[in-house]
Amino acid sequence: MNRRSFLASTTLAGATLAFPAVLRAQGKDPIRIGFPLPLTGPFGALAADQQRGAQVAADELNAKGGILGRKVELLFRDDQLKPAVGAQRTQELIDKEKCLFIVGGLAAHVQMAINEQTKKSKVLFISVSQSDEISAKPDTSPLTFHEALNPTITSRAVGGWIADNLGKKWWIIYADYAWGKQNNAVLQEVLKKKGGTVLGATPYPLGSAEFSAHLPKIQAAKPEVLVTVTPGADNIAFLKQAISFGMKKDMRIAQPLHWLPQLKEGGPELYADIYGGTNFYWELQDTIPQVKRYVEAYQKKFNTPPGDYGCYAYSGVMEVARGCELAKSADSEKVADALRKSPVYDHYKGKQWWRACDNKSFQDLWIVKGRDKAKGDWGLVEVVSKIPANEELDRTCAQKGHA
C-alpha cells in the first residue's frame, strides 16, 4: 500500500464513520427527480427561486440519508417557457435520464404540456405553479398533484378581502391569456357576490410595455379599487405608468399576487401601499417556526431570503420524499396512493393537505401591502392579513369534473 492509497482509504473510512447516512445513501441507485422550469425568458427570476427551493429540499433530504436510503438527484432542465420544449425536456428526463418523478413547471400552459408527458409515461408529477385546469378534468390524472395555489383560490381569497376592506367599486385590468382571464372571471364573480360593481374590465395583450392608452378611461371612471392582473414585467410597466398618471392618489391598487423578485425589481417606491396576495413571505418567520427553519436553510445556502415560488418547489420535492417513505417504494402509483391516504403535511409554513378527489393542495395564504420604506433589501411588504386554508375557496370536486 503506497502513501496515496493509504490516505485515500483512511479518509474514506473516516468519512464513513462521520457521515454514515450520506454514504449509505450513495451506495444504491439514486432517486432522480426531473425538474423542468423556464430558466431563460421573462420568468427567469421566479424560476431561479424555484431551482433554489428544490435544491434546499434535496440537500436536506440527502443530509438525512436520502429517500428510502437512496441519494436524491435533481435534474433541472430549461423549458424556455414554451410548451413544446417543456414536453420534450420532460420526455427526455423520463426516458433518457430515468427520472422517477417530475416536479416543476411555471406558467399554466407549460404545466399542461409537462402533464401530458407524465400521464403518458405514468410518472408522478407535482406541479408547482398556478393553474386551474391542472387539477380539473380532463387534464388531471391520479398521478397529477398540484402544490401551488390556483387562480380560483387566489382571486376568491384576495378578491373577497379587497371587497371587504378596500372598496366595492372596481376597475380590473388583466392580461389577455388563460391565467389573466381566469382571474378576471373569478374576481368579477366574487365582487358580484359581495354586492359590488365592476365599473370596467379591460384586457391587454400579455407582454405589453405600454399601458398609457388604458389610463384616461380608468381615471374617468373613478373606481375605488384598481385591480391589476398583470404578471411579470407587465406589472412594473403598468404600475409605473398608472402611478405617473396620478392614480395611486385617486384610488387603491390591489392585485391577486405579489411576487418577491418582482417587488425587488420594482422597488419600494413603486409598490408602496399596493396590496396583493401571496403563498409565502419570508418575514412570516417572526411568527411561524417552520418558516424560520426554511428561511434559515435557504439563506445559509444562497445568502438571500427565499421567494414565494421557491417554496412550492421545496414543498413539492419534500412531498415526493414523504410519499416514497410512506409507500416504502419509488413506484409512482404507490406513492400517489400513499399521499392520498395520508394527505396532511407541513414543510415550510404550516398545515397543508391534498384533497382526495383532485390531488389539490390546500394551504394558507396572506394579504401583504407594500411598505413605503423597505426594511433592508428584501423587507418590501408587510403582512396585513392571513386567509386560512379552506376547500371552499376552490371549485368543488363536482365542478372540476370529479364525480
Q: How many residues interact with other proteins (rule CB under 8 A)?
A: 38
CB 105 within 8 A of CB 112: no
Q: What is the 3-state secondary structure (H, E, C) of 114-180?
A: HHHHHHHHCCEEEECCCCCHHHCCCCCCCCEEECCCCHHHHHHHHHHHHHHHCCCEEEEEEECCHHH
User: Closest CB to other proteins among 244 and 287?
Assistant: 244
Query: Residues 31, 37, 48, 381: which binds other proteins (CB under 8 A)?
Result: 48
Query: Residues 14, 20, 27, 246: which binds other proteins (CB under 8 A)?
Result: 246
Do you find a cis peptide bond into 261, omega within 30 degrees of 0? no
Residues 146-185, mask of contacts with other proteins (x by CB under 8 A): ------------------------------x---------
Shortest Å distance, C-beta 81 to other proteins: 11
| 213 near other proteins (CB under 8 A) | yes
Query: In 3D, which of 37, 27, 32, 25 has the Cα closest to residue 98?
Result: 32
Pick the stretch among 7-15, 62-70, 129-137, 235-243 that binds other proteins (CB under 8 A): 235-243
Shortest Å distance, C-beta 276 to other proteins: 17
Query: Residues 41, 160, 343, 401: which binds other proteins (CB under 8 A)?
Result: 41
| 85 near other proteins (CB under 8 A) | no
Q: Is the dihedral of CA 327, 333, 336, 340 positive or negative?
A: negative
* DSSP labels, 190-203: HHHHTT-EEEEEEE
| 64 near other proteins (CB under 8 A) | no
Shortest Å distance, C-beta 55 to other proteins: 16
CA 221 to mean position of chain CA atoms = 34
Distance CA 361, CA 354 (A): 4
User: Closest CB to other proteins among 175 and 321?
Assistant: 175
Reading the block at residue 124, the C-alpha cell is: 408522478
Pick the stretch among 13-21, 40-48, 89-97, 365-373 that binds other proteins (CB under 8 A): 40-48
CA 359 to mean position of chain CA atoms = 16
Shortest Å distance, C-beta 343 to other proteins: 35
Query: In 3D, which of 247, 268, 294 has the Cα closest to residue 375?
Result: 268
Residues 6+ apart with CB under 8 A from 220: none
User: Closest CB to other proteins among 214 and 395?
Assistant: 214
| 220 near other proteins (CB under 8 A) | yes
| 209 near other proteins (CB under 8 A) | yes
Q: Are strands 379-387 and 169-175 parallel, antiparallel or unpaired?
A: unpaired
Query: Residues 23, 85, 166, 233: which binds other proteins (CB under 8 A)?
Result: 233
312: three-class secondary structure by DSSP: helix
Shortest Å distance, C-beta 236 to other proteins: 4
Phi then psi for residue 244, to 5 deg, are -65, -25
Q: Are strands 365-375 and 379-387 parallel, antiparallel or unpaired?
A: antiparallel
Helix pair 151-165, 178-193: axis angle to 10 deg: 40
| 217 near other proteins (CB under 8 A) | yes
Query: Residues 59, 92, 189, 265: which binds other proteins (CB under 8 A)?
Result: 265
Q: Is the dihedral of CA 132, 136, 138, 139 positive or negative?
A: positive
Pick the stretch among 10-18, 132-140, 231-239, 347-355 that binds other proteins (CB under 8 A): 231-239
| 290 near other proteins (CB under 8 A) | no
Shortest Å distance, C-beta 232 to other proteins: 9
| 12 near other proteins (CB under 8 A) | no
- Site residues, other proteins (CB under 8 A): 40-42, 44-45, 48, 176, 202-205, 207-210, 212-217, 219-220, 233, 236-237, 240-241, 244-246, 261, 264-267, 269-270
